[in-house]
Structure 1
Amino acid sequence: MKRIATILLRNPLSLLGVVLVTLVVVLAVFADFIAPYPDHRGAVVDFVNFNKPPSADYIMGTDLVGRDLFSRIIYAFRISLLLGVVVLAIATPIGTVVGLLAGYVGGKVEFVLMRLTDVFLSIPPLVLAIAMMGVLEPTLMNAMLAVTAMWWPWYARLVYNIARSEREEGYVLASEVIGASVWHTAFREILPNCLPAVITKMTLDMGFVIIIASSLSFLGLGVQPPTPDLGSMVAEGAKYLPDSWWLTVFPGLAILIAVFGFNLVGDALREILGADQ
């Protein structure tokens, strides 16, 4: 803990990242208590207060049907974090297992698994997600599946490179000499040495997942109204620039804060864990 505190205090940007991520998480988790107008996350209409600029009553203004923008951004943080956590919770184990087996077992297993990984890596991530969402119904669950399908190969490639370099190390050879199984050697001996890099990448990827999810919503392929989503809020507000600038600026700043925070925390974790990507 002392080393962590020293690193954070020595690097103000890392400390800023922790503050930003903590802020986003607290807002998302306690949205029901923090949001001044919690019912505005749904299909609420208030034409008396529609499209109002920032004021004392609505610190970030209101949207085109009178809903408080600040309240909707807070709930949008919850959707973005939920999407990121679920996607990484699925993609990380799949990619890790694929990369670990390919890197350690080698031979035909390595050839098949890594060629499959290369096929997915050859397709631009956003293009693959858009193609999947063009076939599937645009719901939150399908958005998660689309992003997950494009994310696991990066973990497979990362873990594969580490496992392949580790399989000739003395501790691996010693495990094989005493008769340990492939599963024991791969998951009990090699995997712990992959975890620092994997954990660091997960933190960095939270920001990228939020960007991809927001991009899908911006194109109308992600979370659908009236559910608040940062990407769809930016897309809707962009139609009314520059007059109703707050409709786009504040959701855009929310995306910036979340992505910037997770990137800074990822850099700090890389230094703390000594992960070399």
Structure 2
Amino acid sequence: MRTPVIAAAAGALALTLCLTACGTEKASGSGSAAGDTLTVGATPTPAGEVLTYIKNNLAKKAGLDLQITEFTDYVTPNTALQEGSLDANLFQHTPYLKDFNESKKTDLVPVTEVYLPAIGVYANKTKDVTELPAGATVAVPNDTTNEGRALQLLASKGVIGLKKGAGTTATPEDITSNPKKLVIKPLEPAQLPRALEDVDAAVINSNYALGAGLNPKKDAILLESPKDNPYNNVLAVKKGDEDDPRVKKLAKLLTSTEVKQFIEDKYKGSVLPVETS
């Protein structure tokens, strides 16, 4: 059986209950008058850092009291959004969001694309993915879309071959050629940086790589290209909230020139702002 997708306040009481129930999260900021307050869930890096920049530099001028609740997994921020203890979240790409909706019977929708945290292959002893030794163990994310994304990245360099038509939901069962007899080891995404000590290579999402002190642009031995990439991270809300004025304010700030410059300056190519027309 496939491992299910893993991953990311109407008032102060709802936020308190969320923080009590979810041991992996923390909140930043203080409340203000209801109506302009928007509670957004995020993984700490880069989403939490981008939102904190907006909170400290742009939100007040835009008339928005931004509250940030951080999560270290990919499931709780969507569950909290569906249940109403969050107004929005920022941590996931659209393929993951669609898969989550299908598997969890939720109705969450993307509002705007924000940035691409490129997924990459990391290894302690190998400098090129094509030089992985025979029988090497490669850890990959165990959620549906990021596992497929990891396999596609490996296939892009020919170290494995995938069945024709295998896309974002590719699985190890779709591998048609494996000349090095690599052992694919699915793990919970947050565990992947720690797993580098025990495996030959790991395919790690940039938010977890950055959180572990890795620099995707410098340390990854293979990094996916931003060209025609479907994995840009999105601001998401519960269906029906897309036109909420507070959400629209945040969406505008997330795609502003100031935020794009912040992303470029801070991440130096490890996270890429989305270009909008």
Structure-1-length-normalised TM-score: 0.29
Structure with the greater alpha carbon radius of gyration: 1
Please report the TM-score for the alignment, with normalisation by the length of structure 2. 0.29
Q: Which has a greater percent of helix?
A: 1
More strand by share: 2
